[in-house]
A and B are shown apart, each in its own frame.
Chain A
Amino acid sequence: MLRQIEGSRAVAETVALCRPEVVCAYPISPQTHIIEAIGVMVASGALAPCEFINVESEFAAMSVSIGASAAGARAYTATASQGLLFMIEAVYNAAGLGLPIVMTLANRAIGAPINIWNDHSDAMAVRDAGWIQLFAETNQEAADLHVLAFRLAEELSLPVMVCMDGFILTHAVERVDLPDQAQVDAYLPPYEPRQVLEPDDPVSIGAMVGPEAFEEVRYLAHLRQLDALERIPALATAFEEAFGRPSGGLVSPYRIEDADIVIVALGSVLGTIKDAVDARRDAGDRVGVLGITAFRPFPNDAVREALSRARSVVVVEKAFSIGFGGVLSTDVAMASHDTGCTLRTIVCGLGGRAITSRSLEQAFAAAALDELDSLTFLDLDHEIVERERTRMTTTRRSGPSAENILRDLGTVASRID
């Protein structure tokens, strides 16, 4: 049913259609609306039988989910940013135990300095945890990916994280086609655990594994992620058949057939990128876009194929590895190492900094002329940075950089110029 609806609400209603049995809630912006909405639905009895548990931390949220999933319940929670980092030990544990928990990650920057706005630092911090990580471009996709996520998770006994940009998606009200219960029930069978805590058939789960078997256990987890590379496209096809619209998949290409330059990115910024690419197409540049929906497992072959004809690849990232550069870029570089393309990274949108189509167009135009630096920080105010550098060089106790820069700017409002 078509609705004009907030992204968080759309996700909450879709998760509800997936019949979760244990939902853990701990507030952190910008995911809070999701668990609030599910809480209301549980309280009203609409989701019965479902336990909604207000926990004392994100670490507990993931831990309760672990216990619930190991005991055979379909478990769901949502988090963001610091919350994800606070639960990170349990995030790894859920994957190691092979528990098909589904979690929404409302992507948000990580402090210090504390910042509630969107970027992808949180998702990148758990890149290696063993979770499947799917990125939504729109609220429609964010909602749809949750249905796919439960099925994928339970088929493979792996946890799935659905990443949606904080505020940009979670708080945006837009048109979303929500499925109905019968459609979701037909697509998503009841959870049949691979292993469960059951007195009639006692098992020990979570034993200590030494050097004699640890590598094999880890390798098996890798193989199951590779299995996901097969299952994600298959489930996306099944989704389209069941719901009448495409959603999910490994990658989403846009105008790449004849593209010299391919822009690679994750999440909602793909919309702005497509606008910028259309503008550059109009100006005569042969530019295309490759959206990555499945970040983990990373679709090496699909990315390599999509980039095989490109002369130049520009990875647009809302995160970076401090002291090195792009994070997604490293993966893209590995996937395209033998295609002969030039790879550049644009870091942008950190801490919610607006990414404008104008700035992107300029960067893409520079890329077309081979004038784009290998690592570009989009719209970085170099003058402000230099002023703070000078302060730090001349004065030992120069004060906190974040406050100094804000004082220099003379404003605390988000800038779009």
Chain B
Amino acid sequence: MTTQPIHFYQVGSFAVGNRLLDDDGRTVQSDPNRTNSLDSGHRACQGCGEALGARYAIDAAMRASQGRLVAVNATGCLEVFSTPYPETSWRIPWLHSLFGNAPAVATGVAAALKVKGRSDVRVVAQAGDGGTVDIGFGCLSGMFERNDDVLFICYDNEAYMNTGVQRSGATPPAARTATTEAIGSEAGNAFGQGKDLPRIAMAHDIPYVATATVADLHDLEDKVERAMQVHGARYLHILVPCPLGWGSASSDTIRVARLAKETGLFPVFEAVDGKVTGVSPIRHRTPVEEYLSIQGRYAHLFGKHPRTDIIARIQAMADRNITTYGLLAEEPADIDPKGVDV
């Protein structure tokens, strides 16, 4: 096939057309021979970010491992919607044990493969934010600390969605959940709480930690690819909007994920051996209102008496991330993210 050099962003949006790239630059998802590790027919909600994130990540891991992959899954939406007995959407060997033990189960799988001399087969473990930052945290920290040969992927939709949208240790401040209702003067989730798991992972000095969103497929797949290049404990934290829990339009999943990054609320970076080695710069700095106002979980901030004070606190969080991670690009792209057509 003949190729010609094409300017990356000539399409005028972030949705880089694969047909404009040479073969090496194309995404796994654009490959008609991709594995479809999480196949169609599953029971996720319309616009589910987690289903998208899981397919992106596992297909990329499958390509990186030449199809030699075993996945361990924590209890949660991903597990429930993908494997209602006797059906399964997984086209790879897949094991679900419990809510809080996916990292340890994955350690066991990796240990078994090692004693069997199966160095060709790689192990991923996956969980939602509850299974990662809360109930699975002990096992995860143990897996990190022992540097077991597992890529752990957290699909972060910032609450317990499977049980009906309850607060987790990853729920952001002011967000309404079923256990942090939008009631009272400090409506929604409290400020000053929650776990920053990517940084906690880095503190374990594991070889690779990265964050990503479902809005940037190239970046997500690249990070999976890099994570699979190394052995030991690796952590990938993917922001996956949940239309049901976030009260966003199911057609807005990518937009919401992109705004999380463009506002600075969700820093997209990678870290090697405990040190940040790269960030995805904000292309068009966006005030947090644009992110918050399209989500029902923040509707109480935009009522008859808008809570500008709370919005300002959230903006301050975004600003702090921008400073901490150096998220502003040297030369911001002159592109309006609101105009993105995905």
- Which chain A residues have a beta carbon within 8 Å of chain B's beta carbons? 21-22, 24, 49-51, 53-57, 59-60, 63-73, 75, 89-90, 93, 97, 197-199, 201-210, 213
Residues of A within 8 A of B141 (CB): 56
A49 touches B104 (CB 8 A): no
Give the residue of A57, A197, A198 whose beta carbon is less than 8 angstroms from that of B142. A57
Give the residue of A56, A73, A208 whose beta carbon is less than 8 angstroms from that of B111. A73
B112 touches A67 (CB 8 A): yes
Give the residue of B69, B70, B96, B142 whose beta carbon is less than 8 angstroms from that of A55. B142
Q: A67-B112, A68-B109 are in contact. Are A207 and B139 (CB under 8 A)?
A: no
| Interface-lining segment among B87-95, B264-272, B278-286 | B87-95
Tell me, rounded to whole Å, the shortest Cβ–Cβ distance linking B28 to chain A: 17
Please, how many angstroms separate the alpha-carbon atoms of A90 and B91 in the complex?
26
Contacts A64-B105, A199-B68, A207-B86 aside, 5 further interface pairs with beta carbons under 8 A come to A22-B108, A60-B104, A64-B111, A66-B105, A73-B116
Q: A57-B142, A66-B97, A90-B101 are in contact. Are A22 and B115 (CB under 8 A)?
A: yes
Residues of B within 8 A of A213 (CB): 85-86
A198 touches B93 (CB 8 A): yes
Residues of A within 8 A of B80 (CB): 208
Residues of A within 8 A of B201 (CB): none
- Which chain B residues have a beta carbon within 8 Å of chain A's beta carbons? 67-70, 72-73, 79-80, 83-88, 90-98, 100-101, 104-117, 121, 138-139, 141-142, 145-146
Residues of B within 8 A of A208 (CB): 79-80, 83-85
What are 12 inter-chain pairs, A to B, with CB distance below 8 A? A51-B112, A64-B105, A67-B72, A71-B108, A93-B98, A97-B97, A199-B92, A199-B121, A202-B92, A206-B83, A207-B83, A210-B84
Tell me, rounded to whole Å, the shortest Cβ–Cβ distance linking A191 to chain B: 10
A64 touches B104 (CB 8 A): yes
Tell me, rounded to whole Å, the shortest Cβ–Cβ distance linking A244 to chain B: 32
Residues of A within 8 A of B91 (CB): 202
Please, how many angstroms separate the alpha-carbon atoms of A22 and B107 in the complex?
10
A199 touches B104 (CB 8 A): no
Please, how many angstroms separate the alpha-carbon atoms of A374 and B92 in the complex?
58
B138 touches A53 (CB 8 A): no
A57 touches B109 (CB 8 A): no
Tell me, rounded to whole Å, the shortest Cβ–Cβ distance linking B78 to chain A: 12
Tell me, rounded to whole Å, the shortest Cβ–Cβ distance linking A115 to chain B: 25
Q: A73-B116, A199-B121 are in contact. Are A67 and B105 (CB under 8 A)?
A: yes
A204 touches B83 (CB 8 A): yes
Tell me, rounded to whole Å, the shortest Cβ–Cβ distance linking A108 to chain B: 22
Residues of A within 8 A of B97 (CB): 63, 66-67, 90, 93, 97, 206
Closest to B92 in A: A202
